């Protein structure tokens, strides 16, 4: 298994899963030039991180695809509900929503020049806050019922990219509780410490 990663990037969620599952995996950090090379484009067609190579050499791009694929190693269903569990559909909904909506708002916030005019950043921030407000009114302690899942870890990763994090967590006790609870786990702290290398 190989993971192509970048410090502080969408590879964090994959690193957390590898850590939690105790899986051995080579972690490689390609530089900007490497990511533009034809050989890298063969495994990651858009030159994006993360990309994962399975034991039989198959490349998997998109963080959501990698998370779902790695769940097959979670035999105790500690990181997500089992597919036949009633809360599995809720887990799928949340992790997909985070990967497609909040992730993309954060990309627009951080790379506005790729998306258009001056309004991009403020619109992205408004979309991020709408997702945070939605999470705040959930009845459950975590995104998926009473059980912490990889959806909470995915949310944590995205929150670490929020340049206005303190402001976003103020008056959102549920969001803060999820952020603090994920961030206090040893596996997550180990991965986050690595992001600063
Ligand atoms: N939808 C993709 C987004 C991947 C993505 O945009 N990754 C960023 C890092 S967080 C990246 O590769 N940025 C470098 C670039 O776009 O050149 C996923 O979930 O994997």
Please state the pTM of the whole predicted model: 0.93
Atom of ligand 1 nearest to the CA of 111: 16
Residue 83 forms part of a structural domain: no
Atom of ligand 1 nearest to the CA of 9: 10
Residue 197 has pLDDT above 90, yes or no: no
Distance, CA of 45 to chain centre: 20
Residue 168 forms part of a structural domain: yes
Lining ligand 1 with CB less than 6 A are: 6, 9-10, 47-50, 62-64, 99, 103, 107
The reply to whether 72 and 105 lie within a common domain is: no
The reply to whether 66 and 144 lie within a common domain is: no
Q: How far is the CA of 85 from the centre of ligand 1 (A)?
A: 31
Instruction: Output the six-digit token pair for 46.
Output: 């858009």
Residue 82 forms part of a structural domain: no
The four Cα atoms 107, 113, 116, 118 give a dihedral, to 10 degrees, of 100
Q: What is the mean pLDDT of residues 22-45?
A: 96
pLDDT range class, residue 146, cuts 50, 70, 90? confident
Q: Could you tell me the CA-to-CA distances from 112 to 7, 36, 107 in Å, in that order?
A: 21, 21, 8
């Amino acid at each position: 298994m190989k993971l192509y990663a970048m410090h502080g990037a969408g590879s964090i969620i994959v690193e957390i899963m590898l850590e939690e599952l105790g899986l051995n995996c080579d972690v490689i950090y390609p530089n900007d030039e490497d990511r533009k090379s034809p050989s890298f484009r063969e495994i990651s067609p858009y030159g994006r991180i993360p990309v994962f190579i399975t034991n039989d050499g198959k490349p998997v791009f998109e963080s959501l695809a990698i998370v779902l694929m790695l769940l097959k190693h979670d035999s105790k269903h500690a990181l997500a509900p089992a597919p036949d569990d009633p809360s599995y559909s809720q887990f799928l909904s949340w992790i997909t929503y985070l990967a497609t909506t909040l992730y993309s708002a954060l990309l627009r916030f951080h790379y506005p020049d790729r998306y258009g005019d001056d309004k991009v950043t403020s619109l992205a921030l408004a979309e991020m806050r709408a997702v945070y407000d939605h999470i705040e009114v959930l009845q459950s302690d975590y995104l998926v019922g009473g059980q912490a899942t990889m959806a909470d870890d995915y949310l944590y990763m995205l929150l670490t990219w929020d340049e206005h994090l303190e402001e976003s967590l103020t008056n959102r006790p549920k969001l803060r509780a999820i952020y603090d609870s994920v961030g206090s786990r040893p596996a997550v702290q180990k991965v986050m410490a690595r992001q600063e290398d």
